């Protein structure tokens, strides 16, 4: 085989690289920075700062509703956001009402709230409450605009919510400082359409990086007061509340893999065009 032929074969091999090599590369680039605990710093984006500033400005003892609209499929992105934002709320002596639109995500929200409440010595029924989940998506969101008790007469364990001191005089969105929607999908549009536009609810959205680009339009239209997108958004909020967690830890592996994927795209294009050019030359001969 001549040198030229060997070169063409190598290019073609590179062009048809076994995807399992790429899989191993990606896994190594994710694992190594985490194991080596490479530090990362993030600059704060305006949309995350807006969310932070809004919660920071709420008067003490204001009530913030957290809606758990995600599940384990987006847990790595949204759970760090939930923890950071709940830490912020409890550190400001705000009260939390937890509910959700995705049933299978409620355990994650419950876990985040109980974990964070324990750190700050908060008491159930006085500082936070878990209303649980009801089916119906938009129906639930609209009904909560009038009276929580029509759907949530009891909390998630079946105790009447009127038994809890923090629910005295709390009936609907009008008694809340804001609603933090932690969502991986279409429930954000429901919250905007039915809570924000109908009842003037102040909404902060924490969502996956897949969904975040869609919500910049709502932020610009001032239908949202803040937006956290993906693990980067979680990392930024962790930086603001000075509580580093999985969000910040993930920035180093994220960097490495992004660079690798960009490199792969560049390599893929270069080999593709080189192979195409060689094929054209062979045809012309």
| Residues between 204 and 263 that touch other proteins (CB under 8 A) | 208-210, 212-214, 216-217, 220-223, 229-232, 246, 249-262
Specify whether the CB–CB gap between 134 and 140 falls below 8 A.
yes
Closer Cβ to other proteins, 181 or 192, answer by number: 192
Closer Cβ to other proteins, 140 or 178, answer by number: 140
Sign of the torsion angle spanned by Cα atoms 83, 85, 89, 92:
positive
Of 87, 88, 132, whose CA–CA distance to 112 is shortest? 87
C-alpha dist (Å) from residue 216 to 52, 205, 211: 17, 11, 10
Closer Cβ to other proteins, 91 or 193, answer by number: 193
Contacts for 44 with CB less than 8 Å, ≥ 6 apart: 52, 236, 239, 240
Closer Cβ to other proteins, 93 or 193, answer by number: 193
- Supply φ then ψ for residue 203, to 5 degrees: -110, 135
Mark 96-115 with x for binding to other proteins (rule: CB under 8 A) and - for no binding: -------xx-xx--xx--x-
Q: Is 18 exposed, middle or buried (0-12, 13-18, 19+ CB in 10 A)?
A: exposed
Structure tokens at 80: 């760090």
Closer Cβ to other proteins, 40 or 62, answer by number: 40
Structure tokens at 162: 């009127």
Alpha carbon distance 122, 22 (integer Å): 47
- 20-39 binders of other proteins (CB under 8 A): 20, 22-23, 25-27, 30-31, 34-35, 37
Residue 133 engages other proteins in binding (rule: CB under 8 A): yes
Stretch that binds other proteins, among 48-56, 88-96, 119-127, 184-192 (CB under 8 A): 184-192
Position among 56, 57, 72, 174 found at the interface with other proteins (CB under 8 A): 72
Sign of the torsion angle spanned by Cα atoms 186, 250, 51, 97:
positive
Position among 6, 10, 73, 126 found at the interface with other proteins (CB under 8 A): 73
Position among 49, 154, 175, 278 found at the interface with other proteins (CB under 8 A): 154
Residue 43 engages other proteins in binding (rule: CB under 8 A): yes
Residue 62 engages other proteins in binding (rule: CB under 8 A): no
- Nearest distance in Å: CB 141, other proteins: 9
Residue 163 engages other proteins in binding (rule: CB under 8 A): no
Residue 177 engages other proteins in binding (rule: CB under 8 A): no
- What is the end-to-end Cα distance of the chain in Å, rounded? 19
Stretch that binds other proteins, among 57-65, 85-93, 135-143, 162-170 (CB under 8 A): 135-143
**What proportions of the chain, in percent to the nearest 5, are helix, strand and coil?**
60, 15, 25
Position among 65, 97, 132, 181 found at the interface with other proteins (CB under 8 A): 132
Residue 174 engages other proteins in binding (rule: CB under 8 A): no
Of 245, 251, 208, 253, whose CA–CA distance to 41 is shortest? 251
């Amino acid at each position: 085989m001549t040198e030229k032929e060997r070169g063409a074969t190598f290019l073609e091999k590179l062009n048809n690289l076994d995807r399992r090599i790429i899989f191993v590369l990606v896994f190594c680039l994710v694992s190594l920075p985490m194991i080596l605990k490479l530090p990362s710093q993030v600059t704060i984006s305006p949309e995350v700062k807006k969310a932070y500033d809004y919660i920071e400005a709420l008067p003490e003892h204001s009530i913030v509703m957290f809606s758990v609209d995600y599940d384990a499929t987006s847990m790595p992105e949204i759970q760090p956001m939930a923890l950071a934002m709940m830490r912020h709320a409890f550190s400001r002596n705000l009260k939390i009402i937890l509910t959700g639109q995705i049933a299978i995500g409620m355990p994650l929200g419950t876990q985040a709230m109980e974990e964070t409440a324990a750190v700050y010595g908060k008491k159930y029924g006085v500082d936070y409450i878990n209303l649980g989940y009801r089916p119906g998506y938009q129906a639930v969101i609209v009904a909560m605009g009038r009276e929580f008790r029509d759907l949530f007469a009891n909390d998630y364990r079946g105790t009447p919510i009127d038994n809890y001191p923090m629910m005295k005089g709390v009936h609907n969105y009008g008694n809340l400082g804001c609603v933090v929607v932690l969502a991986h999908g279409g429930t954000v549009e429901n919250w905007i359409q039915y809570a924000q536009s109908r009842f003037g609810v102040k909404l902060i959205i924490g969502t996956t990086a897949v969904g975040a680009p869609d919500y910049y339009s709502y932020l610009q239209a001032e239908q949202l007061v803040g937006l956290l997108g993906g693990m980067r958004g979680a990392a930024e909020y962790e930086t603001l509340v000075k509580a580093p967690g999985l969000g910040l830890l993930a920035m180093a592996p994220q960097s490495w893999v992004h660079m690798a994927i960009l490199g792969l795209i560049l390599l893929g294009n270069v080999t593709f065009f080189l192979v195409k050019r060689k094929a054209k030359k062979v045809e012309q001969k």
